Structure 1
């Protein structure tokens, strides 16, 4: 891993909103910490480890999303949305509704989708991952704005399976 890869990783972690990311590969350990307790740029610690101890693994501790207080009407909204299936993000990255800026959106509210249809793209570490539908139905609500950072398991779409 060279310096440019490490710098890109720092930028990605800062955008993702994660408090701490640890990456262990062969002879290198990288820890990136961000958050309100740290001022300015995220801190990074790189440590070289002997090859005999190296166990490749990635650990992430994600910050819990900040939730604003909801109005009392939330109970009826929850009951109403319980009949819908939530499509969640399988990875951390940047959410895009189009394959490229000059192309049309993958799906809109009201679009009928089938299993295997591409719903969006999530960019992580300069890789664009197509997110395919695992269910058939109709898009009821799009929960994330285009070009927004998303967390792992963050709701992206509400789908009516009927």
Structure 2
């Protein structure tokens, strides 16, 4: 099975290359990457029948959200007004593709709100990828100026999540 950091590195390398289609089989797992245009990569992971790497539920979820992810990528590739106006702020970006959650559970308070002071180790959100909940730390000291995504929204690798006025 491929690890998430391996998949991210493969996608990054293919994205920067002139390759339009890439297939890799390794230890019973198969990954196929196809570029739709110079800015987009379509990722398909096909488990082998003998040694499945993903559950049927996960494969169905990937198929259902693929169009949503592509649509969000198109929307996020356009600079949004607040980003243009706030070029002096630090952006906390998503380290992976997944689902953004502002709180540890639906009935809990958000990790951070606009106006909150944060430091390098402050957990600002969770990004869920492949049923793993990854706590995202601020990595800077400052004040949250804007939350750029909605709770439960699918996010791309490198997508800005927060704007921070750095101290």
Normalising to structure 1: TM-score of the pair? 0.61
Matches within 5 A, 1:15-54: 24-31=25-32, 45=46
Matches within 5 A, 1:88-107: 88-107=93-112
Cα gap change, 1:29 to 1:77, in 2 (>3 Å): closer
Confirm or deny: 8 A CA contact 2:94 2:160 kept in the other structure.
Answer: yes
5+ long unaligned stretches in structure 2:
2-20, 37-42, 50-68
Aligned structure 1 segments of 4 or more residues deviating by more than 2 angstroms: 20-25, 30-33, 42-48, 62-65, 67-71
5+ long unaligned stretches in structure 1:
2-19, 36-41, 49-61
2:149 — aligned with what? 144
State the 1:23 CA deviation.
6.5
| Greater relative contact order structure (CA < 8 Å, 6+ sep) | 1
State the 1:70 CA deviation.
7.5
Of 64, 68, 73 in structure 2, the residue corresponding to residue 65 of structure 1 is: 73
Cα gap change, 1:69 to 1:116, in 2 (>3 Å): closer
Aligned length: 121
1:86 — aligned with what? 91
Quick one: distance in 2 between partners of 1:82 and 1:70? 11
Confirm or deny: 8 A CA contact 1:94 1:124 kept in the other structure.
Answer: yes
State the 1:146 CA deviation.
0.3
Normalising to structure 2: TM-score of the pair? 0.59
Of 122, 125, 131 in structure 1, the residue corresponding to residue 127 of structure 2 is: 122
Confirm or deny: 8 A CA contact 1:32 1:45 kept in the other structure.
Answer: no
Cα gap change, 1:132 to 1:77, in 2 (>3 Å): closer
CA RMSD of aligned residues (A): 3.6
Quick one: distance in 1 between partners of 2:121 and 2:145? 18
